Structure 1
């Protein structure tokens, strides 16, 4: 059984992900997998501990697997699937997210090119945002290197 502190943390994690545009249950499943003592849960445990329908859990798990946020494994002699967070390669996942930032910068620069003869507040803000994204993208490798040196 989950403690009250675990339940409260699961709910906060769920709300955080909901504010990021995910379905509430998706965030709550992430929270459950993060707070469980063994960091894994079966389909049935998720349904029971979160008090939601099987179809809702099935849809959320399908979404999380498609987004490569979770994975599952089986155990010898047990037909159940044990779902876990996919955290083994967080650096590669983070790098992929940074590539998305670079793509956003490309879109912003294309928009700015369409407005190149305009000197509006919008253009100034978008140029500032583009400059920040470029700076951020260039600084990330140095941050990773400092991290490796500090924590290796």
Structure 2
């Protein structure tokens, strides 16, 4: 299904996954998606590469080679992903390279943190509504509607999680 080729000429034992056109196109689409969410394009492309790579982890050098970008750009993007707690790296005995992988194992905890953020946003909106005047009723109504939805969402999501857990059992 996949072909592996030597990564660097000086180390024939190190291989990289040969990306198909479908892999490359998917990596680009994932990159564009994340770019539209406010991330740097390379950050999204690295996420895409980590998602499609068969090993689930990729060395720094392979990221540079696969995406055809500079080491400094990859370093900055990986630093960002690590700061956002989206990826981790590991090392191997006798190998000085770092291998990067997405933190997918913690998705439930990450989602719980996002629910806390939603609660905080709702709290801010409610505080803003308390200090706003009646001058712009239409805007106030939209904000109140948004706050109500956030409250509903926050209340309903735990039940959705429980249903998901039961379905997975």
Unmatched 5+ residue regions in structure 1? none
Higher relative contact order (CA 8 A, sep 6+): 1
Name the larger-Rg structure: 2
The TM-score, its normalising length taken from structure 2, stands at 0.87
Question: Secondary structure of 2:130's match?
Answer: helix
Unmatched 5+ residue regions in structure 2? 1-17
Aligned partner of 1:143 in structure 2 is 160
The TM-score, its normalising length taken from structure 1, stands at 0.97
Question: Which of 101, 121, 124 lines up with 2:138 in the alignment?
Answer: 121
Give the distance between the partners of 2:112 and 2:73, measured in 1 at CA: 31
- The range that moved more, 71-80 or 107-116, is 107-116
Aligned partner of 1:78 in structure 2 is 95
Question: Which of 127, 130, 136 lines up with 1:110 in the alignment?
Answer: 127
Aligned residues: 152
Give the distance between the partners of 1:131 and 1:119, measured in 2 at CA: 18
Give the distance between the partners of 1:78 and 1:53, measured in 2 at CA: 22
Question: Which of 61, 72, 78 lines up with 1:44 in the alignment?
Answer: 61
Aligned partner of 1:2 in structure 2 is 19
